[in-house]
Amino acid sequence: MKQHQQHLWWQDGIIYQIYPRSFQDSNDDGIGDLKGILRRLDYLRELGIKAIWISPIYPSPMADFGYDISDYKGIWPGFGTMEDFDELLRQVHAAGMKLILDLVPNHSSDEHPWFVESRSSRDNPKRDWYIWKDPRPDGSPPNNWLACFGGSAWEWDEQTKQYYYHAFLTKQPDLNWRNPEVEKAMLDIIRFWLDKGVDGFRIDAMWHMIKDEQLRDNPQNPDYEPTMATYNQLLPVYSTDQPEMHAIVSRMRRLLDEYPERLMIAEIYLPVNRLVAYYGAPHQREAHLPFNFMLISLPWEPKTVATAIDEYEAALPDDGWPNWVMGNHDQPRITSRIGQQQARVAAVLLLTLRGTPTLYYGDEIGMRDVPIPQDEVQDPQGLNMPEKNLSRDPERTPMQWDNSGNAGFTGGKPWLRLDRTWMRVNVQQQKQDKFSTLCLYQRLIRLRQQEPSLMTGAYRPVYSDHQVIAYLRQSEGYAGFLILLNLTHRPCYFRPVNIKFKGRVVIDTFPEQESLQVENTIDLGGDEAMVIKLEQWQ
């Protein structure tokens, strides 16, 4: 048997995203915190994940729940103290895991001292740290750009009689990355956390960071439909993904590379060909993992998904490591997009594809989007566009741990209401039930982490039709795996022509099927996905 080729921790391992407000409260104020995360480290270790990515924990007015930072080198008191953070980092490392912070370099809070200074007068030294522009002659904003959370992206400042640009909320002014002082300050912040021993960063909104120098108007989007966010009325061709961005990312990467094995993940919503550009080139490396959101954005249709996987594999640069994301704090949960049963099929897909999977907290127990009454909506995206059903609160509800009060999340009043099903959908219940989604995840993770073929082996597409996707995973010298996924609720057959195969089902969304010997033809039930250890494939 050949020696399994060495990979880095972020290639072998699985990333788990924690939305800190909602994971575990330790002081009964209804909001999750760092001590709460610490309390749940054993759960994460048992689950088998390698790295925890925590959404922002810095001081913040919380207009966008932490994505509006007022001090990049501190901890929001609601989450704890710097001592709590240091302790968490120590314990994460002691448990053999890694900790990834969320960094938001595109914008700060309007309450950050930098912006307070910047807006104080036109000749303040920090004026040019943000994007200030004169109005057009008729007093209107400098161009037609729209904010992601609704309305114009320009906010008028009465005191200094100029507009400032904000890609998100008015309380999130965009930093001016054309100013080298901004870059210097941000690199200094990155270094601060790296020196503490943080293992990497998930960089927020990376494709927004540089804007067209001439600030040209964005064109209309011919495919806009009124159900979409107003932001989508225009195509953001001049406000995002500008060529100058790549040099900046590569300088960030160079800084990370001064430290051993640190990871840069980039949040980028772009079509595949432009996404993969953010891996950089051999002489100018950029992000290790530009987040691949295909499984979030594509329709759950087997041919579409299979084709997208192939396109992604083909588009990757030679040394670009793939990654897959099924959910996050900005998107409806997988169960609410494709249903509970198909979400189990999706789990098999996510954990058997080639590349680093990122799990969103709660998906491993099949949490669903929770209906939040209108008068309890907290998310600014939901509040600003109430008629569009775009609130992100439903996918941010407290983790369901057990059947004690508030699912074991808090002894106080949770900041967002829990799903009514928490008494039966929770970690404690599912641990005891071998048919549960949690057990499915745990076993998939265990198998993936034991089997080089699944962890880092090659991906080979085999077949897809209107119901099924089939592919192989194989490391040289090891038994390979055939993965079969039925993306529909109806039974179907897998009968490849001119291929003879033999194997044993090792994991199935219907565990009754496990240990079954299979040969040449397989019939799959509706919502069934199987991982087959191959003895023969020719």
Question: Which tokens belong to 327?
Answer: 């959910």
Between 293 and 501, name the residue whose CB sits nearer to ligand NOJ: 293
Q: How far is the CB of 169 from ligand NOJ (least distance, A)?
A: 8
CA-based nearest residue to 211, from 255, 180, 166, 252: 166
Q: Which residues contact 137 (CB under 8 A, 6 or more apart)?
A: none
Q: How far is CA 452 from the centre of its chain?
A: 24
Task: Quote the DSSP letter at residue 422.
Answer: G
Number of helices and strands (H, E) in the chain? 16, 21
Residue of 25, 204, 364, 369 marked active site: 204
What is the pattern of x (binds ligand NOJ, CB under 6 A) and - over residues 20-59?
----------------------------------------
Contact between 64 and ligand NOJ by CB under 6 A: the answer reads yes
Between 110 and 204, name the residue whose CB sits nearer to ligand NOJ: 204
Q: How far is the CB of 197 from ligand NOJ (least distance, A)?
A: 24
Would you call 495 exposed, middle or buried from its count of C-beta atoms within 10 A (0-12, 13-18, 19+)?
exposed
User: Which residue is listed with tokens 């998939």?
Assistant: 444
Interface with ligand NOJ in residues 251-270 (CB under 6 A):
267
At residue 360, φ and ψ (nearest 5 deg) are -100, 130
Among 129, 145, 165, 168, binds ligand NOJ (CB under 6 A): 168
Between 26 and 381, name the residue whose CB sits nearer to ligand NOJ: 381
Cα dihedral 140/146/150/156 (nearest 10): -30
Among 204, 241, 364, 369, binds ligand NOJ (CB under 6 A): 204
Amino acid letter, residue 70? S
Q: How far apart are CA 538 and CA 536, in angstroms?
A: 7
Q: How far apart are CA 523 and CA 245, in angstroms?
A: 49
Question: Which tokens belong to 227?
Answer: 């159900």
245-257 vs 180-196: helix crossing angle, rounded to 10: 30
Q: How far is the CB of 30 from ligand NOJ (least distance, A)?
A: 20
Contact between 393 and ligand NOJ by CB under 6 A: the answer reads no
Q: How far is the CB of 295 from ligand NOJ (least distance, A)?
A: 17
Residue of 267, 364, 393, 508 marked active site: 267
Q: How far is the CB of 149 from ligand NOJ (least distance, A)?
A: 7
Name the H helices within 356-411: 380-384
What is the pattern of x (binds ligand NOJ, CB under 6 A) and - over residues 112-151?
----------------------------------------
Among 16, 67, 129, 401, binds ligand NOJ (CB under 6 A): 67
Report strand pairing: 289-290 vs 263-266. parallel
Q: How far is the CB of 267 from ligand NOJ (least distance, A)?
A: 6
Question: Which tokens belong to 433?
Answer: 């039930």
Q: What is the DSSP string of 273-307?
A: HHHGGGGEETTEE--SEE---HHHHS-S-HHHHHH
CB 158 within 8 A of CB 201: no
Contact between 205 and ligand NOJ by CB under 6 A: the answer reads yes
What is the pattern of x (binds ligand NOJ, CB under 6 A) and - over residues 322-341?
-------xx-----------
Task: Quote the DSSP letter at residue 496.
Answer: -
Is 267 annotated as catalytic?
yes
Is 204 annotated as catalytic?
yes
C-beta nearest to ligand NOJ: residue? 67
Q: How far is the CB of 109 from ligand NOJ (least distance, A)?
A: 11
Active site residues: 204, 267
Binding site for ligand NOJ (CB under 6 A): 64, 67, 104, 168, 204-205, 267, 329-330
